Amino acid sequence: MTPLAVTALALYAAAAVAAVATCRKKAASSPAQDSCRLVVAYLIAVVLLDGLRWLRALLLEPATGPRVGWDLVLRHAEVGLYLGSILALPAMAVALFSEPGRHGDRWVTPVVLGSVWLHTWIWIASSYPDLRGAALLRVYDLVEAGAVVVSLGCAGVWLRRLIRGEAECSPAHLAGLALIAGPTASCCVSWLSRATVLDGWPYIVAGNAVAVAAALVLLLHGLLRARRRSTWA
C-alpha cells in the first residue's frame, strides 16, 4: 500500500467523520440531514471496502499464476469488493440527487445496482482464469464509466431543478458533486489516454484524493457555518 493510497483512504475516513458531525447539526428528519446520511453511508462504504481490499493485498503475496484454493476464493472476494466500491457512487448519486418524495427511486436503486453487481461478479468469477489481467481491467473501466454516467445524469437533473428553484443546495450536495468529480476525471484520463486502470493508477488515486479533500473542505465549511448559527442563536 503506497503512501498516496494511505493518504486517499485517510481522506475518505476524515470526510466520513466530517459528514457525521455535519449530520448532527441538522434538524432531525430534515431533508438536509437525510442528504448528509447518504454521503456518510457512501464514504463509510468506500472506507470499509477499500480497507478490506488493501488488507488482503498486504497479507497475501501477489500471485504469479492462476490462483487456486483459498487464494482463489479471496481473489473473487476482492473482485466483489472492488465492484462494490465502484457501484457505491451511483447508489449515492441517485439517492442524494433524486427529487424529494420520490421514494420509489431510493427503493429501486439498491435492487438494480445490486443486481448489476451480482451478475457482473458472477460473470467475472466464472470467467476465471480466462478473464484476468488487462482484460479484467477493461471490464472495471466499463463498469466505472457506467457508474460515472449514471452519477452525472443524476447530478445534471438536480442542477436543472436547482436552477428552477425546485431543489435545495446543501453542503452534502456540494460534497456529493466533488466525490463524483474524482471518478469522472479518472475515467476521462483512462479513456483519453487509452490506458488501463493499472497503468494510470497513481494518477487515479491522486485525483480521487483531491476530490475527497474538496468534499472534506465543503463539509467542514458547512459544519462551521452551522456552529456559528447555533452560537448566535
Q: What is the CATH number of the domain that holds 102?
A: 1.20.1070
Which has more pLDDT, 170 or 226?
A: 170
How far apart are alpha carbons 206 and 43 in whole angstroms?
17
> What is the Cα–Cα distance from 111 to 119, expressed in whole angstroms?
12
Question: What's the rounded mean pLDDT across residues 54-66?
Answer: 72
Average pLDDT, the chain: 81
pLDDT at 25: 66
State pLDDT tens for residues 82-138. Answer: 898 899 899 889 888 887 655 455 556 778 888 999 999 999 999 998 888 888 888
- Say if residue 204's pLDDT is above 70: yes
pLDDT band (50, 70, 90) for residue 181: very high
Q: Which residue has the higher pLDDT, 153 or 132?
A: 153
**Percent of all residues in the chain with a pLDDT value above 90, rounded to a whole number:** 22
Contact present, 207 and 186 (Cβ < 8 Å): yes
- Name the burial class of residue 221, with classes exposed (0-12), middle (13-18) and buried (19+) by CB atoms within 10 angstroms of its CB: middle
* pLDDT at site 160: 93
Indicate whether 187 pLDDT > 70: yes
Within 8 A by CB and 6+ apart from 180, the residues are 89, 93, 148, 151, 152, 155
Render the burial of 12-26: b for 16+ CB within 10 Å, e for the rest. Answer: bbbbbebbbbbbebb
Domain count for the chain, please give it.
1
Among 130, 150, 135, smallest CA distance to 196 is for 135
Average pLDDT over residues 202-216: 85
Domain hosting 174: range is 3-232
The pLDDT value recorded for residue 108 is 66
Length of the chain (residues): 233
> For residue 22, what pLDDT band results from cuts at 50, 70 and 90?
confident
pTM: 0.84
